[in-house]
Structure 1
Amino acid sequence: MRSLLAGVTAADISTEPFPHIVIPDVLAPELYDELAGGFPPLSRMIWTGAPDRLPNNKHYALSARLVLEAPDMPDCWKRFLAGHSGPEFLAEVATLFEGYWPQAMLHCLDGRLIGHDVGRFSLLDPPEVWPRIRQDARFEINTPVRDRPSSVRGPHLDTPNRLFTGLFYLRAPEDDSEGGELVLYRWREGERWKRSIDHTVLPDEWVEEVARIPYRANQLVLFPQGIDALHGVGIRYPTPHVRRYVFITAELTSPWLTVPASVPA
């Protein structure tokens, strides 16, 4: 299975407002169409409940490990998720963003992202058996917006144990919805030094919008975690369609990201 990062180089990295890549048409059309056609239906993603009773614009996920163990999932997806939740992909990400990894992260990893005990994320494993780095490439959806416009999640930083965040969008051909872009932010002057980062959603007055990346079929967005990696999802307007993507990530067993103790000189 071809890696999403095949052919991607450091020249593709944008640094504003933080290091990230946006790669449109990342997979060949034939492979993308095969994957998109096999994306799990809504009933598979939520496991229980009727679609007409789902919460408005809510998030559901299905981890790579569960998919790989399921006999009814398409083989193309098993190969894709296995490849993007394994050590080879972690090494690709580590090499691509060399020079952009935060020093605090590297300090917790003995100066490098590769060469550690790694494994796939599972909610069923007790902490005492967790590897040093847990990876995942999981199906994620946001349910239809049936009533008021809303954002599934406003400006935020990802969990402080995360190493990187990847989003591979699989917008359905019939999806004519409005909104749902990935919004990139920067801290307003001084806010990064005096505010706690332990918030599910940050107040709007702490941040300012810098860019919007469209929710587009066959597009990859990927970036390292860091104190400036502020992002959120744009407002979605009423639609019967599901917002579909694969979330690709790696994380440590404990947090590494903290607010700097003081404003640097």
Structure 2
Amino acid sequence: MTLRADAVGHAFDGEPVFSNVSLAVDPGEVVAVIGPSGAGKTTLLRFLALFERPDEGTVSFDGTDVWDAPESDRLGLRRRVGIVFQEAGLFDADVARNVEYGLRVRRPWSERLGDELAGLLGRNGTNGAVREALDLVGLADDADRSAASLSGGEAQRVSFARAVAYEPDVLLLDEPTSDLDPRNTAVIEDAVDRACDRGIGAVLATHDMNQARRVADRVAVLLDGGVIEVGPAERVFGSPDDERARKFVAGELVY
């Protein structure tokens, strides 16, 4: 499924954040959105996550305008999107239950198997998906640990596992490694790559240029109220068309 924003614009208290922003993510690709603080990276992700409607423009799944769809259909479209925020936001429970939450809320067993069979399976019915998601982030042996005992990096890895456990079509990542050490950062970047190998599309908002170089297939530069450059990562970092983009990726612009 292709998630797409077309000519999206938004303002806060009458002050424009950005306008005429278009961006699409296809299955299996990583699109990095880079730009200075305050450029609107998180706001753009909120629109792609279908949390709120932009002031102008459209957000669509495979050509279906999300906000023109009936509310019941819109809920189904939201369930196709997984989100990893900057902070893990885990519950006071063990690791397995935290990951399982995504399955139960986004992809309930009653939809997939029928109420009667779901009742017979109970909690054990989700164990395979939970184990697979935890294995993706190197925590398959930690399912019974209390979330409170995890380091910050481990907690973020659990948050990632929770977002991919129900196999979303698109994964949105909002500065997911900004507070992490190099090892945990590498684990999550590898997990993004492996998830995309399974056909999940990903949009990564990051201020880390090196991370965008390592992970992204395409890069969009969000600057001065719009996307001023978008294209293959190698071209955007090597020879962007827009002079502002060139200065930004070279570290010559200060905000």
Task: Note whether the superposition's TM-score is higher than 0.5.
Answer: no
Q: Where is the helix percentage greater, Structure 1 or Structure 2?
A: 2
